[in-house]
Structure 1
Amino acid sequence: MASSLPPNVHLSKHPCLRAKLSQLRSKGTNARETKTLVHEIALLLGAEALAQLDVDPDGTDETPIGYEYPYETIDCSKLTVVPILRSGLGMVEAIQTLLPDSVSVHHLGLFREKMTLQPVEYYNNLPQSPGSVARLAIVVDPVCATGATACAAIQILKDWGVEKIIFLCVLGALPGIARAAAEWPEGTQVWAGGMDDGLTDKGMIKPGLGDVGDRLFLTIGK
């Protein structure tokens, strides 16, 4: 499958991630366990995806035994994390944990209309002043199924003015991942923890994970 992926798509091969993804797929995994697994998978995936960030020198500091060392950091002032509501909230803390400094979080509310499977935007708190536009947006959404929601988020952020997008998903379907990667290929890198081949007639990944938002927030059947 990896050989057929677009060049801006990256599929994790981390053994711990793959084992945790198998645990997450199980119908026996409860809401508390689902939350933990989504967080842990996002940590592993985020560590891979964010390895491309630049490290900047920031003077020197001193160790507890009196030795000076060069201090390195990452400029987080022009980064933002963009969770797609609801389920993207389950990945935010992992990205915040990985970054060495505080980073802004801007939410996008997008849902798929049940008949057409097309995304509908219902919430957007991206600040509109030119000086507040991030250079890099790290978009988090556990599932990329048809790719329509991912494409809508990428287009919204591109119109906002970001220079680059890193899109992270726990699991994607091959058609949806390819669609998201093609939306703005020169500005977007797509990272997936795992990938399945197809979708059901309702636009769900198969075998998939089910509805991660419902599993995280215990709203299955409502």
Structure 2
Amino acid sequence: MIIHRFDHKNSILNTFMAEIRDKNIQKDGMRFRRNIERIGEVLGYELSKTLDYEDLVIETPFGPKESAKTSDSLVLCSVLRAGLPLHHGLLNYFDGAENAFISAYRHHPDGGDAFDVIVKYFAAPSLEGKTLILTDPMLATGKTLENVLKALRNHGTPKKIHIISVIGSNEGVDHVANVFPKETQLWIASIDEGLTSKGYIFPGLGDAGDLSYGEKL
């Protein structure tokens, strides 16, 4: 897997990342969602540099001008519910993309720290020959994306796969690299060192879904 991480260079992305991690600023759910959305825009812009383009000539009010546009058929697929703000950020830039959504949640069968990832809902167009952009803000253990990959197999084989994440753990990134095709590209704002006993990224930021949309039962 080809990994593009952005926590080693200073940019406006650092500001957005600092705010989503700050436990005081996190109390403003609207700002948290907007910052995730803006992170998606930044990562989407970086990803766009690797897409295929075709030349064209457009007519301005004063005459023709040579230009270019992406020729990739894009599908944005986000993991519900935490992936929605990130999805919106990418859709702001790739507004012509098709959209897919998949639900995945942690199931603790014995009430302890161990959990399985359950996928129950999936709506997507055909992925055959298209460029798939998977969005999951928190790449903790990597199990969610592994199960998402399994669910995608009945919808065709993408030409290319990109993964967009906000924060990952070393363990999660390694796991995803082992289960996804080697040509897959990961675009991630930051990689943290570890996981808590419950499988959350440390130091991370907490539960992105709860911070975006409120706590769940």
RMSD in angstroms over aligned alpha carbons? 1.9
**Structure 1 position 182, deviation (Å):** 1.7
* From 13, 20, 23, the counterpart of 2:16: 20
Q: Distance in 1 between matches of 2:115 and 2:89?
A: 29
Q: Which has the higher strand share?
A: 2
Among the aligned pairs, what percent are the same residue? 26
Residue 126 of structure 1: aligned partner:
124
**Structure 1 position 14, deviation (Å):** 4.9
TM-score by structure 2 length? 0.88
SS at match of 2:49: helix
* Letter aligned with residue 60 of structure 2: T
**Structure 1 position 50, deviation (Å):** 2.3
Matched, 1:109 2:103: yes
CA contact (8 A) 2:87 2:135 kept: yes
**Structure 1 position 164, deviation (Å):** 1.7
Q: Distance in 2 between matches of 1:218 and 1:70?
A: 48
Matched, 1:10 2:4: yes
CA contact (8 A) 1:8 1:185 kept: no
CA contact (8 A) 1:87 1:142 kept: yes
SS at match of 2:204: coil
Q: Are the structure 2 counterparts of residues 14 and 134 from structure 1 closer, same or farther at C-alpha, using a change threshold of 3 Å?
A: farther
Matched, 1:201 2:197: yes
Residue 152 of structure 1: aligned partner:
147
TM-score by structure 1 length? 0.86
What runs of 5+ residues in structure 2 fail to find an aligned partner?
none
Q: Are the structure 2 counterparts of residues 55 and 127 from structure 1 closer, same or farther at C-alpha, using a change threshold of 3 Å?
A: closer
Q: Distance in 2 between matches of 1:56 and 1:47?
A: 17
Alignment of 1:23-102 (within 5 A): 23-29=19-25, 30-58=28-56, 60-64=57-61, 66-76=62-72, 78-99=73-94, 101-102=95-96
Q: Are the structure 2 counterparts of residues 154 and 9 from structure 1 closer, same or farther at C-alpha, using a change threshold of 3 Å?
A: farther
CA contact (8 A) 2:119 2:148 kept: no
SS at match of 2:40: helix
Q: Distance in 2 between matches of 1:159 and 1:186?
A: 20
| Partner deviation per Cα, 1:59-97 (whole Å, 9 max, x = no partner) | x22223x13112421135x21000101011111121112
**Structure 1 position 103, deviation (Å):** 1.3
| Partner deviation per Cα, 1:75-123 (whole Å, 9 max, x = no partner) | 35x2100010101111112111212x52111101111223533211110
Q: Are the structure 2 counterparts of residues 127 and 102 from structure 1 closer, same or farther at C-alpha, using a change threshold of 3 Å?
A: closer
SS at match of 1:170: strand
SS at match of 2:162: strand
**Structure 1 position 151, deviation (Å):** 1.6
**Structure 1 position 134, deviation (Å):** 5.2
CA contact (8 A) 1:181 1:189 kept: no
CA contact (8 A) 1:8 1:189 kept: yes
Q: Distance in 2 between matches of 1:209 and 1:16?
A: 18
Alignment of 1:132-171 (within 5 A): 133=128, 135-160=130-155, 161-171=157-167
The number of residue pairs the alignment matches comes to 208
* Letter aligned with residue 62 of structure 1: E
